């Protein structure tokens, strides 16, 4: 029996809907619903008291001390809070996709011999290769393989010197005296700073400028100590901190300060030489200001 026009139209519409449904079903990337992004762990940074990192450079231990962090192994020195924070962020990075590790060939993901492992609160996070298709990083945690968008491993593949604080003098430290080669000795007295040496400053303000320069001194990089010799810098503090003894060296473009017995050296821009070892006259008064 011939179909009337209305019936034919309805059948045509049904066929079109079926074809569209097939296209949607077969379209790559649309077979599975998008997975919800969840953090690797529920830890907060304040819950973590220590971090142990192992990589091709060896092993290091970071421990929380008060409001800051310190490197405890392979040496004891203040840690750079910014670099520690970069490690902590790995613990809560969003997992975009995950698979049970059981039965998987972990070598295919670079997780049989990971590039680094980061341990915290009894958990060990392993860092594998990149997925070549979407450049996501493979991580292994608690028997589960995760894919994450964070793929730069600089934070976890660096050596211990990468995590040393670049600040020469701790922020909370109160300088009592500075003994500087070629300049003399500056000491805190009841009425301000007192100077002894061959080249007195033009004013008391010049001494304060120099002290402030030391309070803010920060390195471009911290390296394992390899420099020998140099001139001695001695800094004492008003609190119970032990004196800070540094050896001073210079190259064509770098000022190097090497703390005695710490095994590190601070590499600083040579321009800081004038801030730390030369008098700076205060800025001239603006016209109209009281002299």
| Number of residues in the chain | 291
- Please give the DSSP secondary-structure letter assigned to residue 204: H
User: Could you give the percent of the chain with pLDDT greater than 70?
Assistant: 84
pLDDT tens-digit readout, 21-73? 544 444 443 333 345 578 999 998 889 999 999 999 999 999 999 889 999 99
pLDDT tens-digit readout, 246-259? 999 999 999 999 99
Does the CA dihedral 32-38-39-41 come out positive or negative?
A: negative
Nearest to residue 61, comparing CAs of 163, 157, 152? 163
- How far is the C-alpha of 248 from the C-alpha of 128, rounded, in Å? 42
Is the pLDDT at 86 greater than 80? The verdict is yes
pLDDT tens-digit readout, 23-34? 444 444 333 334
pLDDT tens-digit readout, 168-225? 998 889 999 999 998 999 999 888 899 999 999 988 899 999 999 999 999 999 999 9
- How far is the C-alpha of 5 from the C-alpha of 2, rounded, in Å? 9
């Amino acid at each position: 029996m011939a179909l009337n026009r209305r019936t034919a139209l309805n059948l045509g519409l049904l066929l079109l809907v079926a074809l569209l449904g097939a296209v949607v079903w077969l379209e790559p990337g649309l077979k599975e619903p998008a997975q919800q992004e969840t953090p690797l762990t529920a830890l907060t940074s304040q819950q973590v008291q220590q971090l142990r990192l192992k990589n091709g450079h060896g092993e290091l231990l970071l421990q929380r001390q008060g409001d800051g962090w310190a490197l405890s192994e392979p040496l004891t020195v203040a840690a750079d809070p910014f670099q520690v924070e970069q490690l902590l962020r790995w613990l809560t990075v969003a997992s975009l996709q995950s698979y049970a590790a059981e039965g998987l060939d972990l070598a295919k993901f670079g997780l049989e011999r990971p590039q680094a492992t980061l341990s915290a609160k009894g958990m060990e996070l392993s860092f594998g290769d990149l997925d070549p298709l979407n450049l996501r990083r493979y991580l292994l945690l608690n028997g589960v393989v995760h894919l994450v968008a964070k793929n730069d491993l600089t934070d976890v593949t660096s050596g211990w010197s990468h995590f040393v604080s670049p600040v020469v003098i701790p922020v909370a430290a109160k300088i009592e005296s500075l003994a500087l080669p070629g300049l003399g000795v500056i000491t805190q007295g009841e009425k301000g700073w007192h100077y002894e040496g061959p080249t007195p400053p033009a004013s008391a303000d010049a001494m304060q400028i120099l002290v402030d320069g030391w309070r803010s001194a920060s390195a471009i990089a911290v390296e394992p100590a390899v420099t020998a010799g140099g001139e001695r810098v001695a800094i004492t503090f008003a609190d119970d901190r032990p004196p800070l003894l540094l050896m001073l060296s210079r190259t064509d473009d770098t000022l190097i300060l090497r703390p005695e017995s710490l095994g590190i050296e601070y590499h600083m821009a040579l321009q800081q030489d004038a801030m730390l070892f030369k008098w700076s006259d205060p800025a001239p008064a603006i016209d109209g200001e009281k002299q």
